[in-house]
Structure 1
């Protein structure tokens, strides 16, 4: 099952480089496997070497922790455009909430598929370090002189464990924008409930059309449901659509399709109400009316297996179209750290662990 994940965004191109991606598991398990992606590549990618180690200080690794991965027994992985590759399992156990460094050597040129880490408030945590050449096997961090806020080509970490994972299908609110602590509500959910959580948020992401990544509807089938062990999806996306003039009826129809596709795959769907955003740059009276219509459907439309009423959790009782001031990071769109905590608390754990539809 999936213990960590990132949604795919198109982020430029690189050539003959090693990237040390630093991530954190949600739950532990055995037989760690790494999934790489070439989601947006126009040409094949060749990864010469991929290693997994335990981070030390900066880009350095703990002594004797860096282990090579293989792909169908070979050290090299070649991914055609749009493809993913799942490594062979590593012997041993990884722990819950364990930091791991996945060092990926790109041999030759390639399109960068990754995800921006929106917040950097976690002390001592950087998403990735880059170095020219092949340094995947290095335990020293000396070659990794460039620190970047992007995870590169890393699609998921997979372990063998009895639990099922929860995927969050969302936008920048899922990635943690606004939380000065560096932890968004999916991170808090994973830590509080000891759940495996796959964060499939994309900053600027929409439900109906592509943005920096695919549309949420497309990502459900190409990215979320293809990851091992997903038992429940929490859907919270649509504000960016409304901000660009989408109609409530179109969002509702997309929500119905998303729920149907998930149910066909045996996956439950928790519907999240769209959070208040009056005062945000793209808020309009028409968008607010559409938000209310969409939220009425999420609460009472019968398409979902449960409700996460983020709107009620975050709104100002005196002005329900707005975030409560202490839950507002300041842009009137993204929740503050306290707001992300309130969102995590709004989810019923029993709904996440139930099986079947």
Structure 2
């Protein structure tokens, strides 16, 4: 597996992680330094999104055009409480440094509006402006802002220069907002007249000073099912949301719609073996990863044979169960080397979809048998049986299926969360 291990290690090369405390006393409304020693502050990933190359998505987005003299406002829900907050910005797919003129965090009100009195200007190494290196990422300094568990926080970036194409996360299932000019400190949302359902540059929100989680954080790692395609937009009904509502632990969603285990995709991100460390193991405070991935590797070759195939379902080689199992083992080994547990998930039923065919049927059965019986995962949740149609176990139960019969709906994601919660 040297060929797979090399990109996993290479994914971290050139990654710049910068975090520091502001020098001197903070002014009113600015970031305040964490008064405790850095070693004493325990940070936990409370929200995250896996970065992707700028690309055309299923819905219109701003990733390819980027931003110029515009303010970008994004709303996310944190899964851990704290009295300090910091953000992580990703320029992983930028070819030049990203200039951030200024950034704020605030408690969310409604839509693009925020709660008056809650706006905090962020600093980066003591400065309100920042430069995120090409192919790197940057953490802000801590800001004092009390956040409750499952509370929404609004992150606003002012980008005075021209950014070029933007590192983003395609499928947010939530509105992001754009305004012309500098509106980073606005409490109202009237200036934010443009909307998109993707996230840009923002890859993490981390908290400190709250109730210490008893077992550490959980990362859900996978493809569009983990990313929660088919969930209701702007309603926090993703698989990760349903899980966070059921366990008293931070939950980070590191799914990418369309993602593959074994191959990179121009539309759907770096392969799982290349991004696993960045998007799962490097999340602060993580102790468990729940892995659900492989259906696209199996199904894209079948979809390519259908009439009018989806042009983004590439690459689409025929993948064997042995190849997928070898990759799963590599991910398990990488996690265990960090002391992180891995919960395996069987692939959901998908008969009747574009991904279904004779080869996919055989390969998915072989993969699911190995996941159930190998004993190599620390625990296993059997979604294949749990979500199967009682009348046809190879198809998704209509009670839990989105219109495409490939993805669950809100009810299906709740059932998944209920099943995996006791194993974490």
Q: What's the TM-score bracket when you normalise by the shorter of the two chains?
A: over 0.9
State which of 236, 243, 250 in structure 2 corresponds to 1:196: 250
Give the number of the structure whose residues are more often strand, by fraction.
1
Is the CA contact (8 Å cut-off) linking 1:23 and 1:127 kept in structure 2? no
Is the CA contact (8 Å cut-off) linking 2:118 and 2:145 kept in structure 1? no
State which of 317, 320, 336 in structure 1 corresponds to 2:393: 320
Which whole-Å CA distance do the structure 1 matches of 2:257 and 2:236 have between them? Answer: 15
Partner SS, residue 144 of structure 1: coil
Q: Which residue of 2 aligns with 1:86?
A: 139
Q: Which residue of 2 aligns with 1:168?
A: 220
Which whole-Å CA distance do the structure 1 matches of 2:119 and 2:190 have between them? Answer: 15
Runs of 4+ in 1 over 4 A off after TM superposition: none
Q: Give the C-alpha shift of residue 184 in structure 1.
A: 2.0
State which of 164, 168, 178 in structure 1 corresponds to 2:230: 178
State which of 67, 74, 82 in structure 2 corresponds to 1:21: 74
Normalized against structure 1, the TM-score is what?
A: 0.92
Is the CA contact (8 Å cut-off) linking 1:173 and 1:184 kept in structure 2? no
Aligned: 1:148 with 2:215: no
Is the CA contact (8 Å cut-off) linking 1:118 and 1:177 kept in structure 2? no
Which whole-Å CA distance do the structure 2 matches of 1:91 and 1:165 have between them? Answer: 22
Aligned residues: 345
Which whole-Å CA distance do the structure 2 matches of 1:264 and 1:171 have between them? Answer: 23
Is the CA contact (8 Å cut-off) linking 2:246 and 2:418 kept in structure 1? no
Assess, with a 3 A threshold, how the Cα gap between structure 1 residues 20 and 92 changes in structure 2: closer, same or farther: closer
When Rg is computed on C-alpha atoms for both structures, the one with the higher figure is 2
Partner SS, residue 335 of structure 1: coil
Which whole-Å CA distance do the structure 1 matches of 2:351 and 2:121 have between them? Answer: 50
Aligned: 1:10 with 2:63: no
RMSD: 1.5
Q: Which runs of 5+ in 1 are unaligned?
A: 120-125, 353-357
Q: Give the C-alpha shift of residue 117 in structure 1.
A: 3.5
Q: Which residue of 2 aligns with 1:51?
A: 104
Q: Which residue of 2 aligns with 1:33?
A: 86
Residue by residue, what CA displacement relative to the aligned partner does 1:108-157 show, whole Å, maximum 9, x if unpaired?
A: 222312213354xxxxxx43101123221222222211011011111111
State which of 113, 118, 127 in structure 1 corresponds to 2:175: 127
Partner SS, residue 21 of structure 1: strand
State which of 409, 413, 418 in structure 2 corresponds to 1:340: 413
Normalized against structure 2, the TM-score is what?
A: 0.78
Q: Which residue of 1 aligns with 2:113?
A: 60
